[in-house]
Amino acid sequence: MVTTLVYRNHKLAVENPPTSLLATLREEPGVMMWIDLADPSEKHVKRVMEELFAFHPLVIEDCANDNPFPKLEAYDDYLHLVMHAVDYTRTDKFTTTELDLILGKNFLVTFHRRPLRPVQAAIDRFVRMPNRLVRGPDRFAHTILDYMVDAYQPALAELRQELEDIEWDALHEGTPDDLFPRVLALRKELSQLRQIVRPQRQTVHELSQGKAKFIRKAIVPYLRDLEEEMQRIESQAVGWSDQIILSFRVFLNRSSHEASEGVRVLTSLTALSIPPLLIGGWFGMNFSHMDVLNNNWAYPAVMGVTILATIGMAAFIRRRGWL
C-alpha cells in the first residue's frame, strides 16, 4: 500500500495522487511530499525508490532486509534512519517492526513491511489538519518518532500493573511456585524493553545534536525531548527490574521468618514435654529397688512434681519469648 501526501507552500495540496504523477510533482517548485510504503509490491519499490528517488542500492537492500539494530546513515541528498516500532501484548510480549525513514530536503519516504499504528496516526493527523503549515519533511519524521515513543505507554502500564501484583503477592499470600516464574518473566520483559529502547535512544541522540543534514534547528529541541522521554523509559525499566528483585527478597525473608516461627513453636512444644517424659521415663523403669512406688503418696507426689516442672518450663519459655 502506498500513501502519499503532497504539500505546496507548506500546506496539504494533494492526497494520494497517481504514482505516475510523482515525478512531475517532485520537480515542481515549492512542493514537499511524504510517501509511505506499507508492505509495497516490487513494482512500487522499483518505481518509487529506484526510479523516482534513485536511492542507493544499499538503502534499498536495508529496507528489504530487517536490520536488528537502529542506525543513522548520511548520504549526499538524504538521511537513512532505521528505527523499530514496538508493539506489546500480554500474550506475544514485545514485538518490533522495522521502520525505514529516508529524509531529504523536500521529501520523506517511509518503508515498513507491517502496518504501524504510529505511522498511520501521523498520516491521519496531517490529513485531519490540511491547513496546518509543515515547513519541512523533518516535521513528518519527528511526528512519527513521537508517536513511536507514545506507543510504549500501554506496555509500561501493563508492566507496572504486573509489578504491583507481584509486590502484593510477595507481601501477603504469594507462594514460591507462583512468584518465582512471574519474577523471571517480568525481569526478562524489562530487559527486552531496555534492549529495544537503548540503541534507539542513542540514534535519536545523534539526531538531536543538530549536526545531521536535513534536520532544521527548529526540530532539534523536539528531538531532545524525545531522547529524554526514551531515557526516562529506560531508567524506569532499570528501576523496576531492581524493585522486583527487592520485592522477591522481602518475600524470601518473610518466608524464612515464618519458617523460623514454626520451628520455634515446635521447639517450645518439645521443651514443654521434657519434664513429663523425663519423670515418666524414670519412674516407668520398674526397678526392683524403687520402694517409693509402693507408698500411697508416690503417685500424687510424682504428679505434682511433673505439673510443677512443666509449669516452670512454660514460664521459662515464655520469659525468653519463645512462645
Do β-strands 93-104 and 78-89 pair in parallel, antiparallel, or remain unpaired? antiparallel
Q: What per-residue confidence (pLDDT) applies to 80?
A: 92
Q: What is the mean pLDDT of residues 210-218?
A: 85
The pLDDT > 70 percentage for the chain reads 81
Residue type, 31: V
Distance in Å from the first CA to the final CA of the chain: 75
Residue 227, Cβ neighbours under 10 Å: how many? 21
The residue with greater pLDDT, 22 or 36, is: 36
Q: Are 222 and 204 in contact (CB under 8 A)?
A: no
Query: Mean per-residue pLDDT for 17-30?
Result: 80
Q: How many helices (H) and strands (E) does the chain have?
A: 10, 7
CA atoms within 13 A on the CB side of 125: 16
Report helix angle 176-208 to 152-171, nearest 10: 150
Average pLDDT over residues 268-282: 69
Is the four-CA dihedral 194, 201, 149, 234 of positive or negative sign?
A: positive
The predicted structure's pLDDT at residue 85: 86
- Residue 112, H or E segment: strand 107-112
Question: Cα angle vertex 152, ends 149, 158, to 5°?
Answer: 165
Query: How many angstroms separate the CA atoms of 313 and 270, rounded?
Result: 11
Amino acid 276: pLDDT: 74
Give the C-alpha separation, 258 to 167, whole Å.
Answer: 18
Confidence band (pLDDT; 50, 70, 90) for 272? low
pLDDT tier at 44, thresholds 50, 70, 90: confident
pLDDT of 172-186, one tens digit each?
776 767 777 888 888
pLDDT tens, residue by residue, 225-253 = 999 999 999 888 888 888 777 776 776 66
User: What's the grid cell of residue 109?
Assistant: 519516504
Provide mean pLDDT across the span 276-288: 67
Residues 118-175: pLDDT tens digits?
998 998 898 888 788 888 898 999 999 999 998 888 888 888 888 888 777 777 776 7
Kindly give the interhelix angle for 220-272 and 137-150, rounded to the nearest 10 degrees: 10
pTM: 0.74
Query: Over the stretch 102-118, which tens digit does the pLDDT of each residue have?
Result: 998 888 999 998 888 89
